[in-house]
Chains A and B, each alone.
Chain A
Amino acid sequence: MSQTITRRAVLKNLAGIVGGILAMPAARTCKAAVQNALASSPAPTGYDPFKHKWLMALDVDRCIGCGLCVEACCEENGVPEGHWRTWIERYVIKKPDPASGKARGETIVDSPDGGKKGFPPLLIPKEDILKSFFVPKLCNLCDHSPCTQVCPVGATFDAPDGAVLVDGKYCIGCGFCIQACPYGCRFLNPETHTAEKCNLCYHRITRGLKPACVEICPSQARVFGDLKNPVPDMENDPLRQFIAKNKVEELKPSLGTGPRVAYAGLDEVVR
C-alpha cells in the first residue's frame, strides 16, 4: 500500500500536537480542581503536591526518649487520649545467661503512655542490661501502602508528595486500614469514628514549616526534608547528609511495603 504525505495531513498532525501541548496545562488545572473538590486535605490553596517529595529520617542513637515529640504531636493535632500518631518505644536487651550460649538475652520493650511523659526508671538492675535505646515511631509513609490498598472507598490515599493522607469526611470507619497497617500507626478516632494517623503535620509542611515533632526534638533525632527541593548547598542539607553518612534501614522490609521513613542505627529486634 503506498502512502502519500500531503501538506494537509502534516499540517493537521502538527496542529493536533500543538493543540495537545496547549491543552495540557488546562487539563492539569482541571484535574487539580477535581482532586481538590473531591479530596479534602489541610493544604492551603496554591500548594502543588507534585512539586514536593517529603521524607522523614530518624536517628535511633540520637533519641533520648524525652517524649517532647509525642506531646507536641498530641497538642498540634488534637490526638484523642489513649491514641498516638507518633510514639517512642524503649528497648532493653538483657545480658545473656552465660550457660545459654546466646549472644544476648531477653528483649523487653515498653512505651508507657506512648512515651509522652518520658520513661520511668528501669526496674532491671543496670549490670543485667546489655544495651538500651529508644525508637521513635510514626506512619512509615509506605510507597506501597497496604492501608491505601485496602480502603474500600479511597478515603486513604497516597498524595503525590509522599504523604499518606486520610480524608476524614469520606472515611466510613470500617477499620480495614487499621488492620492492614503492619506498624500499628493507625487508630479509630473515638470522637469522629474515622481512621486517623500521622499525616506529617500536613497543615504545617504545606506552609513551609516542619512537622511539630521535628520542630521540638531537642536532640535532632528526627530529620525532615523535601527530596525535590533540597537545600542548594549539599553540605547543609540535613536530609541528604543523613542518608549519605548513615547506614539506613526500614521497618519490616520483608512485607514489601516500601516504607519511606528511614532509620539509622536500627537494631534487628525492632519491629
Chain B
Amino acid sequence: MHDTILTNLVDALPQFEGYVYPNERTLHPLWSVLIVVYPYITGLVAGAFIMASLVRVFKVKALEPIYRLALLTALAFLLCATLPLLFHLGHPERCFEIMMTPHFSSPMAMFGFVYAWYLMAVLLLELWFDYRRDFVEWSKTQTGLRGIIYRAFTLGVTDLSEPALRLDAKMGRIISIVGIPSAILLHGYVGFIFGSIKANPWWGNPLMPIIFILSAVVSGMALCVFAYMFLCWARRVTADMRCLDLMISFLFYAVVLDAAVEGLDWLHRLYSAEEGIEVLKEVASSKLFYTLLIGQACLGTLVPLLLLGTMQLIRKKVAELNRRRVYFASTVLILIGVLAMRWNVVIGGQLFSKSLRGFMSYKMEFAGHEGWWLSLALLALPFVILTLFIKYFLAQDLPHD
C-alpha cells in the first residue's frame, strides 16, 4: 500500500523527463548523498597523508609544525571513511562478507583490503613509531585517564635508548614511503569504483581514478591548512607563516594540476563526442549548473586559483594578516569545491537514464537515513574525533619531541 502510494506519487511528480528505464524511475537515486560523502572523506584522508609525507619522505623541514596534525587528521577521517557506505548498505550486518568472502574482480571488495591495509599497516603504525618516545615520556609524568591512555599506547615498549629511537625514525620513514603509494591506491580505487562502470558514460572513464587522486590531494592539503589555521586561532597563537606559505604553495600547484587534468577530461569528452555526449552536456550545463559550473568550476577552482596565484606573485607585499585571510578563504572555497565535485560525479551520474533518452531529478530528503542530517553528522564526526586527538596527542601543555 505504502509503495503503491509512493509509486503513484513518483508518477505524479515531474521528476522524469524523456524516457527513463522503468527500474530507474525511483524516488531517490540509488546512490544518494551518503555516497557523495564517502569519496569526499576518503579523499581528505589521502590528501592529508600526502601533506604529512612531504615532511617525512621529502624532508620539507618548514612543514614540520603540521606533520602530526596532518597525520591525526588523516586518521580521524579514515576512521569515519566507511561509515557512509555502511549506512547506505541494504544489509549492513553482512558488511564483513566483503572481507571474508571477497569477490576479487570487484573494485568495492578490493577497497576493503586497501582500506584495512592503509589503516593498520600504514597510518596507525606510522603514528605509533612517531609517537612512541612521547608516549613513554608522557606516561611517566601524566596521571589519571591521560596516564592510562599513554601507558596503553606504549604497548609496553618503553626502551628509549639511542638505537631504539633510531629504529623508530627509520621505521617511520619506511612506512611513510610505503604510505604514499598506499594513499594514492586508496583513493585511486575510489575513483575506479566509478571509472569502471562502463554502463554510465558520466563515470566510465580511465581518467576518473587520476582525477579522484588529484582532487583528493587538493582537498586533503586544503584541510590541513584549514585545520592548522583553525587550531592556531583557537589557541590564540600566531601561525608559522613560513609553514603556511609553503603549504599554500603546494596547494596552489596541486590545484593547478587538478584543474588541468579535469579540464583535459572535459576537452577529451567534448572532442571525441561519443554516444551520450549530448546527454552529458545537458547534465553539466543545466542539471548541475549550480554545483558544477558555479560551485566546482568557479568558486571551487577558478577563484582559489586566482587568489592563491596572486599570492604566489605578490606574497611579500601583502601583510601577514591579509595573507592569512586570503589563505583561509581559499581553502574553505577549495574544500567546498571538492565536495561539489564529489556531488557532481556521484549524483550527476544518476541524473540521466542509461537509455540516454531521459533525465531524472534528485529531491534530497532532510531527515531519513539518506538525508541531509545524517550526511552532515557524518561530515562533522571526523572533526569531533580530530578534536579529541588534538586534546590528547597535540596538547599544548605536553612536551613534544
A interface list, Cβ under 8 A from B: 80-84, 87, 89, 107-111, 113-114, 146, 149-154, 170-176, 178-188, 190, 192-194, 254-256, 271
Contact = CB atoms under 8 A, between A and B. Distances in A.
A184 B24 contact: yes
Contact of B90 (A87, A113, A174, A185): A174
B328 to A, nearest CB: 38
A188 B90 contact: yes
Interface stretch (B3-11, B48-56, B205-213, B225-233): B3-11
Given A82-B25, A153-B98, A170-B97, A179 B199 contact: yes
A231 to B, nearest CB: 34
* 5 closest Cβ pairs, A-B complex: A173-B90, A184-B21, A193-B90, A182-B199, A109-B19
Contact of B23 (A174, A185, A194): A185
A152 B7 contact: no
B116 interface: no
Nearest to B27: A82
Q: Is the interface of B mostly helix, strand, loop or mixed?
A: loop
Contacts of A178: 23, 30
Contacts of B97: 152-153, 170, 172
A152 B103 contact: yes
20 contacts: A81-B3, A81-B4, A81-B7, A82-B6, A83-B23, A87-B21, A110-B19, A113-B22, A146-B197, A146-B198, A149-B105, A173-B90, A174-B89, A174-B90, A176-B108, A182-B354, A183-B354, A185-B23, A186-B23, A192-B90
Given A153-B97, A182-B199, A255-B199, A175 B31 contact: yes
Contacts of B31: 175, 179
Contacts of A190: 3
B357 interface: yes
A152 B112 contact: yes
A111 B4 CA distance: 18
Contacts, number: 131
A109 B21 CA distance: 10
A80 B193 CA distance: 29
A185 B92 CA distance: 24
How extensive is the interface on chain B, given as a class?
Answer: 35 or more
B91 interface: yes
Contacts of A107: 357
B3 A80 contact: yes
A68 to B, nearest CB: 17
B90 A151 contact: no
Contacts of B371: none
B324 interface: no
A31 to B, nearest CB: 17
B112 A174 contact: no
B196 interface: yes
Contacts of A256: 198
Contacts of A171: 90-91, 94
B356 interface: yes
B171 interface: no
Contacts of B92: 172
B98 A181 contact: no
A153 B103 contact: yes
Contacts of A81: 3-4, 7
A182 B198 contact: yes
B107 interface: yes
A150 B89 contact: no
A254 B197 CA distance: 14
A58 to B, nearest CB: 17
Contacts of A89: 19
Nearest to A115: B22
B68 interface: no
B109 to A, nearest CB: 4
Given A188-B90, A193-B90, A174 B108 contact: yes
B364 to A, nearest CB: 17
Contact of B102 (A80, A152, A180, A184): A152
B4 to A, nearest CB: 6
A179 B197 contact: yes
